[in-house]
Amino acid sequence: MAKVLSANLGYPRIGEKREWKKALEQFWAAKISKDEFLETIRGLRLSYLRKQKEIGVDLIPVGDFSLYDHVLDTAVLFGLIPERFDKGEKEISLETYFSIARGNKDAEASEMTKWFDTNYHYIVPEISNETKPRITENRLLTLFNEAKQELGITAKPVIVGPVTLLKLSKGYDRNHFQTLLDSLIPLYIQVLSELKNAGAEWVQIDEPILAKTLPSEDVAVFQDVYQAIKEGVPDLKLLLQTYFEAVDDYEEVIKLPVDGLGLDFVYGKKANLEAIKAFAFPQDKVLAAGVIDGRNIWKNNLAATFAELETLLAAVGGRDKLWVTPSSSLLHVPVTVASEKELDPVLKNALSFADQKLSEAVTLAKGLNEGKDSIEVQLEKNRVDLDALQQSAHRNNKEVQKELNHLGSDLPTRPGSYKLRQQIQEDAFHLPLLPTTTIGSFPQTQEVRQARRNLRRGEWTKEQYDQFIRNETAKWINIQEDIGIDVLVHGEFERNDMVEYFGEKLAGFAFTRFGWVQSYGSRCVKPPLIFGDVAWTAPLTVEESAYAQSLTRKPVKGMLTGPVTIYNWSFVRNDISQADVFNQIALALRKEIHALEEADIRMIQVDEPALREGLPLKEEKKANYLHRAVYAFRLATSFVNNDTQIHTHMCYSEFDEIIEAIDALDTDVISIEAARSHGEIISTFEDFKYKKGIGLGVYDIHSPRIPSVDEMKSYAERALQVLDPKIFWINPDCGLKTRRPEEAIPALKNMVEAAQEVRAELGDKVGR
C-alpha cells in the first residue's frame, strides 16, 4: 500500500558528547594514529545511521557526514583543489584535505564564510579558469555501500548540486561559469551512475541557491543541467532539495526533469504554500515537505503541522507522493534532548533536537498513513507541553514588556556628531597614528579551561576561580604592554563563549549541557536558548573590565556582545517578532553599558560579528532586517557621552550590500575581517567613502601560522590606499581565543612592528 514516507536531509556530525570533535583534534595533535582516527570516525558514522533506523526514519541520508565540511567534501570529490595545495594526488590525502581547510606552515587556508543565513561556515571552493574537474574518489559510493553492508540500510546519498557548488566558489571569471558547469556535469553523472549500479534508489541533490533571488538566466541553467543529468542516469530517482527559504521561481522549478522536489515549509512556508495553491504541484513528482524546523529547537506544533500536511497531501495526489522531512539538514541543531538532565521541565518539555525532530517526522507520517487518531496521544502531549511554556512567568515579564511598549520608531541618536566625538576622543585618549588593538579574547589555554571545570565541579571556590582570572588578566595586560599595543583588552578569560557568557547573566535565557552545534571545522558552539523575556538584573562585565583598567594607564576596552549577534547566535523563541527580541536584548545591554561608563570605562566594544549572518536570503526582506538591526544596536549604545568611544567588530568579508547599515550603526571605530579573504573587503571602500574609525584585520587568526611583518604591512598599505590614515586602526581579523600563546604573541609582535613601520613611512605626511 502506498504510504507517506519520513525522510531526513542530514544529521549532526559532532556526536551526542562531541566525540567527533575530540577525535579530530586528537588526530591533528598526533595523539592518535590515522588508523585509530578513521576507525573512531567510522564507528560514529555508523552509530548515527543506526539511531535513525531505530527512530523509524524511512529514508536515511549518507554523504551528510563530513570530516570537516560538506562543501569542501564536494569540491575535493571533483578535484577542485587550490593550486597551492595540489600535489597531483589521484586520491586526496587527509593531509591535503585538512590543509585546504586549516592552512599549513607554507600556505594559507581557503576562505571560510557563512552557509547562506545560518551560523554554520563552509570552506569556499577555489577554482581558476584553468581548473580541470575530475573525480578523485566517489566517497558517496563508499558511504552508501557501508550503510548497506553494515546495517542493511538502502540510504539516500546527499550531494551539493553543481549550480550551488559553482555559485559558492571563487577565483574564476564569471563568463567561464558555463564552461566549468559543462565539465562538471559528466562527473556528476558518473558519480550518480555508480550509485545506481550499487543499488541506490534515490539521490538527494542539494541546490539551496534556489532559495536566493536569482536572475532569470540562472534559473534557465537548471533546466539544462538537470535535463543532462536525468538523461545520463534515467533510472535513478533524483530529489532536488531546497531549503532556508521559498523558491522564487516555483513555476520553472516544478518543470525540472527530477523525480522529487524538497521545499521549506518553515522559513519559506507562506510563499511556498501560495505557489502550490496558485500553480499546483506536478503529479509526477514527490514533494519532500520540510515542515519540521531544522534550524531551531522548539517542538513542532504537531496539530497545526498535521493540518498543513493534509492540505499538501491533497495537492500532490497520493500518499506515495509526499515525504515528511525537516526544513533543512539537522546539522544546525543539537543531537538529543535526552542528554539534558538539569533543565526546567517546563522548558525541556518544549524542546526538540535532531533525534526528537526525526521522531516528529515519523509521528506525522504515521498519522497521515493510519489516521489522526493513531497519533492522538502524541498530539495532546505536544499541545500541553507548548502551552505550559507559553503561559509561564518566563514569557510574561510585565516590566520588560512595558519598556518595549514605550520605544519610539525613530532611530536613537548619539548626543554629538562623529566629527565632534572624534575631536573630543582624540583629546581624551592621545592615541598615535594607526593605533593598534586586538579584538577581545586571548588564548583559552588548557589551564583556563581546567579552571572553569574546577569551578563547575566544585573543586575550586568562587574566590579561587576569581583570583585565577585576575592573575591571567594581569599577565596578559603586561604582555600587551610589553608588545606595545596601544589599546588593551582584558582577555575574556572568564568567558566560555561570547554569547553564552552574557546569557548566563541575563533573565530569559537557559543553557543546555550538551546542546552543541558545529560552527566550522571542529569548532562547536553551545547556543543559549532565548526562551523568555530578556532582562538585565546585575552588572555583567564591570568587575573584570574595571580590574584590568586599574592595572594600566593605557585604555582598556570594555567588551560586550551586541544584541543582533546574541540573537543570531542563540536558539530564539518563535512566539514574538524578531524586532521585539532584538530590542529586549538591546535594552538589557544598554543598562550594562551605562554601568561600564559609571565605572569609568571610556572605550566599549559592542561586537556584532553575526550581523550580516542574519541577513535574509530574499532581497525584499533585507532592508527591514537591517533597519531592525541598526535600531537595536543604537538603542543599546546611542546614549553614551561623547568622550566614550564605541567600537564594534564584524567577521567575514562580504559587506558590500550592508556597508550603508554599517555606517548607520554610528560607531566610533569598527574592525572588520580582511586577511582571511585576502583583502577583498578593501575594494568596498573604493566605492563607499567611510569616514569613521576603522580597522581592517591584517592577519587571519583561524590558522596557526604566524604571518610576517611584511605580509601584515601589505594589508595595511593596501587599505590605506582607500582609507584616511587618521581613521585607520591596526588589528587582527578576530579574537585570539582559539590560538595558543606561542602563536598569538609572535603574531601580535609582528602586527605592532608592521604598524610602527607603516607609521614611520607615513612620517610627516599625516598629522595626528
607 is in an annotated binding site: yes
Please tell me the distance from the alpha carbon of residue 713 to that of residue 12, in angstroms, as a whole number: 41
DSSP category for residue 241: E
590 is in an annotated binding site: no
Residues of 430-449 as b/e, b for ≥16 C-beta within 10 angstroms?
A: ebebbbbbbbbbbbbeeebe
39 is in an annotated binding site: no
Grid cell listed for 367: 498519522
Where does residue 152 fall: left (phi above 0), alpha (psi -120 to 50 degrees), or beta otherwise?
left
439 is in an annotated binding site: yes
State the burial class of residue 88 (Cβ atoms within 10 Å of its Cβ: 0-12, 13-18, 19+): exposed
> What are the two backbone dihedrals, phi and then psi, of residue 174, each rounded to the nearest 5 degrees?
-65, -25
Strand partners, 646: 604
Is 383 within 8 Å of 552 (Cβ atoms)? no
121 is in an annotated binding site: no
Is 686 within 8 Å of 659 (Cβ atoms)? no
Which residue from 614, 617, 635, 521 is spatially nearest to 570, judged by alpha carbons?
A: 614
Grid cell listed for 208: 539551496
Angle subtended by helix axes 446-456 and 462-483, to nearest 10:
160
For cell 582559539, name the residue.
738
Strand partners, 351: 298
Grid cell listed for 287: 514533494
Q: How many CB atoms lie within 10 A of CB 82?
A: 23
406 catalytic, yes or no?
no
Grid cell listed for 36: 585509530
| Through-space distance between the first and last CA atoms of the chain, rounded to whole angstroms | 80
Q: Who contacts 73 (Cβ-Cβ below 8 Å, separation ≥6)?
A: 63, 66, 67, 139
Which residue from 79, 58, 220, 74 is spatially nearest to 140, judged by alpha carbons?
A: 74
20 is in an annotated binding site: yes
Which residue from 469, 610, 480 is spatially nearest to 117, judged by alpha carbons?
A: 610
Please tell me the distance from the alpha carbon of residue 740 to that of residue 693, in angstroms, as a whole number: 29
Q: How far is CA 140 from CA 191, 195, 196, 382, in A?
A: 8, 8, 11, 37
What DSSP string describes 518-583?
A: EEETTEEE---EEEEEEEE-S-SSHHHHHHHHHT-SS-BEEEEE-HHHHHHTSEE-SSS-HHHHHH
Give the E-state strand segments of 215-336 in sequence order.
237-241, 260-264, 286-292, 322-326
Please tell me the distance from the alpha carbon of residue 226 to that of residue 238, in angstroms, as a whole number: 9
DSSP category for residue 14: S
569 is in an annotated binding site: yes
126 is in an annotated binding site: no
Which residue from 140, 36, 702, 728 is spatially nearest to 435, judged by alpha carbons?
A: 728
Q: Who contacts 329 (Cβ-Cβ below 8 Å, separation ≥6)?
A: 9, 10, 11, 64, 243, 294
767 is in an annotated binding site: no
In angstroms, how far is CA 296 from the centroid of its own chain?
13
Please tell me the distance from the alpha carbon of residue 739 to that of residue 735, in angstroms, as a whole number: 9
114 is in an annotated binding site: yes
Please tell me the distance from the alpha carbon of residue 155 to that of residue 635, in angstroms, as a whole number: 50
Grid cell listed for 564: 543582533
Please tell me the distance from the alpha carbon of residue 218 to that of residue 193, in angstroms, as a whole number: 26
Catalytic option among 121, 332, 490, 702: 702
Q: How many CB atoms lie within 10 A of CB 715?
A: 23
673 is in an annotated binding site: yes
Please tell me the distance from the alpha carbon of residue 14 to that of residue 54, in angstroms, as a whole number: 19
Provide the pairing of β-strand 557-561 with 529-536.
Answer: unpaired
Strand partners, 202: 237
Binding residues: 18-21, 114, 119, 439-441, 492, 523-524, 569, 607, 613, 649, 651, 673, 734
Which residues make up each annotated binding site for Zn(2+)? 649, 651, 673, 734
Q: Which residues are annotated as a binding site for 5-methyltetrahydropteroyltri-L-glutamate?
A: 18-21, 114, 119, 523-524, 569, 613
Annotated binding site for L-methionine: 439-441, 492, 607
Residues that constitute the known binding site for L-homocysteine: 439-441, 492, 607
* Active-site annotation, residues: 702
